[in-house]
Amino acid sequence: MGRRVRRGAGKKMVQLRDDSFVEKIMYRLVRKHISGTTMSSALGRARELNSKKLHVSITFLSNGITTKSRAKYVTTTYLELIRQISRLGLKASVQAPLAQLGLTIDSATAAENLGEIIRTGNRHGVFVWAELPPGASLPAAELGSARGLGLAAPAAEIARLAREHRHVRAFKAIFGADDGKDVGEALLRQLKSMPGSSGNRALLSAPDGVVSRILNDGKQGRQMIFEFRLGESAKRMRRLARRGARMSVYLPFGKDWQAYAMTNVPEGYMRFIAGRLLGEAGSGGTGV
């Protein structure tokens, strides 16, 4: 329950809600963008999307990795996720942010944990995307030649990473809400110069202009995987499917979903959520 705070004699008392109240409302409003808080919820959603002929890329939402023990816990979660993907025969990859694996602690910790994830992925036939924060590189040079590994990074970082890690054959460009036309144009030029076989390139949340340019280039279009965040426009995906585009869905799960929702749920929908939160809190938040 909330607690009451007296504002003065003879005046109304305002009831302040616990944080859990707001969190429950927010989760109810953003849950179409999150597969759930548990691994089983993510695996179930992956099976559902596979039935619609969609590949998925699953990531575990875990914030505030400041100790080696916590980084090891996250690593163990990814190892189990890989085993379950293989056991269930899902068409899925995993995407592990290096910040979760200990990169903010030291590079050796991140390298050790990522190496274990890659080896497990190879044993079970599950592809691994290592997600790099802005300005970062692989924490160990030998990881660049590992099979079954791709690098996911902000779109503006792909050109640099392709130069630094020439043995890596798979790159995923992650577009942010603030990425303008210049970022997309620079990436398109870089993609044309990158060697590699079909299926080694992916775009996450790419703007329509970039997607259209690539689809209009027959070779680039055949090689590219267009990835959408869970909850993005199904109409847009159907339109691309009719053009023969290869598509995937980015599937996050975990209890630390708040930061992901704030940065990745579309701005217009976040304004709607803010209005709903204020409305819900206001309707039940005052008492006499």
What are the structural domains, with CATH classification, of the chain? 35-256 (3.20.20.220)
CA distance 214 to 220: 6
Structure-model confidence comparison of residues 105 and 273, the more confident one: 105
Going from the C-alpha of 7 to that of each of 97, 102, 125, 284, the distances in angstroms are 47, 47, 62, 18
Query: How confident is the model at residue 14, as a pLDDT?
Result: 36
125 in Cβ contact with 118 (< 8 Å) = no
Tokens of 249: 């869905």
Examine the pLDDT at 278 and tell me if it is beyond 50.
yes
Which band of pLDDT confidence, cut at 50, 70 and 90, is reported for residue 130?
Answer: very high
Measure the CA–CA gap between 235 and 151, rounded to whole angstroms: 29
- What is the mean predicted confidence (pLDDT) over 178-197? 72
Tell me if 94 sits within 8 A of 78, measured CB to CB: yes
Percent helix / strand / coil, the chain, rounded to 5:
50, 20, 30
For residues 236 and 249, what is the distance between their CA atoms, to the nearest angstrom?
13
Q: Which amino acid is at 146?
A: A
Backbone φ, ψ for residue 120 (5° rounding): -70, -40
User: Tell me, what's the pLDDT at 16?
Assistant: 37
Average pLDDT over every residue of 91-101 = 97
Distance in angstroms (rounded) separating the CA atoms of residues 93 and 150 = 10
CA distances from 123 to 105, 113, 171 (A): 28, 16, 21
Residue 13, pLDDT > 60, answer no
- Taking the CA atoms of 132, 134, 140 and 141 in sequence, report the sign of the dihedral they define: positive
Out of 21-25, 38-42, 176-180, the most confident range is 38-42
Residue 167, number of CB atoms within 10 A of its CB: 12
Q: Could you identify the residue written with the tokens 């206001």?
A: 282
Region 12-17: what's the mean pLDDT? 39
Mean pLDDT of the 134-156 span: 94
Could you identify the residue written with the tokens 């329509």? 208
Asked if 173 contacts 134 with a C-beta cutoff of 8 angstroms, the reply is no
Structure-block tokens of residue 160: 């640099």
